[in-house]
Amino acid sequence: MNWICRKYTLNFFPMTPDFTQSFPLRAERVHEVCGPCAASFAAVCASSTRGSVIWIREYWRPGTLNPLGLLPFFDPGKLLIAKVKDQTEGLAVAEEALRDGTTPLVILEISQPMGLIQGRRLQLSARAGKSTGLCLIPDGMGSNAAESRWHAAPIFDPFSAPGDSTLQRYELIKNKSGTLGFWHVRWDTASRRLHLVSATGE
């Protein structure tokens, strides 16, 4: 029966808890995501925002984002990259951008543990600027001030069609206003939206 339950949206297979209550990330808050697919989680979040997206990254990080890889998610022209020297500078830029509110989504890559003060400052500036923040954190380096924390990991799907994107498991591991849970999702390149998939092997 595996092939039947391959790809169905939430309407057919309601899972508990409800994904839509947590997933389009709550606006005016700062969220966190970790795991191997954190960058693609960020790209999914950026795809649903209007206006520019600013991505703050330390300059010494190996590798680069590939705009052609972002193309299935959103137009790379709306992305601004801020290359910063260290995390302090990155936090300052993120605070500035969040408080300004011109960019609805601010993505910040974190390399060191973030304290409560820094997390709280980001939350306050997100509230002031009515914009959403998303920190890409290494495992276990989040701040307690985060509104929610996600873990995004890829999953091998033996039944996927050739053009399908990677099946991913989004696990909500911290949530200030709701319950935790996990969902299997897949990005649909054609319709540019996230599809909820029932777990394989069920």
Partner 1 sequence: MFDGIQRRVVSIWFPRLASDRVLRMRPVEGPFALTHSLSNTNRIYCLNGAAERLGLSAGMPFSDARAFCPDLQSRPADLLADKRFQHALRRWAVRYCPWVGLEDDDGLVLDITGTAHLFGGEAELLMDMRQRLSRAGITACIGLGDSRGAAWALAHHGEGSAPVGATSDVLQDLTVAALRLEEKTVTGLGRLGLRTIGELANAARAPLTRRFGPSLLMRLDQALGQQPEQITPLKDPPHYGVRITLPDPIGIKSDVMEGTSRLLTQLCAKLKSHETGARILALTLRRVDQDSQQVELRLARPMRDASRILPLFERGIDDVDAGYGIDQMRLEAVQVEPMPVQQLSHVSTGHKNQLDDLITRIGTRIGLENVQRFLPADSHIPEHSYQIAAAAFSSPESAWSTIRPRPLHIFPPAPLLGTHAAPTPPKRFRWRRMSFATARASGPERIAPEWWLEADEWRTGVRDYWCVETRQGRRLWLFFTPQSPSWYVQGEFA
List contacts with partner 1 (CB under 8 A). Answer: 36-37, 39-40, 43, 51-52, 54, 59, 62-73, 75-85, 89, 92-93, 96-97, 100, 102-103, 153-156, 158, 160, 162, 165-167, 187
- How many C-beta neighbours within 10 Å does residue 13 have? 13
C-alpha 70/C-alpha 43 separation (Å) is 7
C-alpha 193/C-alpha 118 separation (Å) is 32
Give min distance, CB of 154 to partner 1, in A.
3
- Phi, psi torsion values for 126, nearest 5 degrees: -65, -40
Give min distance, CB of 69 to partner 1, in A.
4
Identify residue 152 by its one-letter amino acid code.
A
By beta-carbon proximity to partner 1, the closer residue of 16 and 64 is 64
Give min distance, CB of 86 to partner 1, in A.
11
Residue 108 contacts residue 46 (beta carbons within 8 Å): no
Token couple for 124: 């306050």
By beta-carbon proximity to partner 1, the closer residue of 125 and 175 is 125
By beta-carbon proximity to partner 1, the closer residue of 21 and 173 is 173
Give min distance, CB of 77 to partner 1, in A.
4
By beta-carbon proximity to partner 1, the closer residue of 75 and 112 is 75
Give min distance, CB of 153 to partner 1, in A.
6
By beta-carbon proximity to partner 1, the closer residue of 83 and 120 is 83
Residues 6+ apart with CB under 8 A from 186: 7, 164, 165, 166, 167, 168, 194, 195, 197
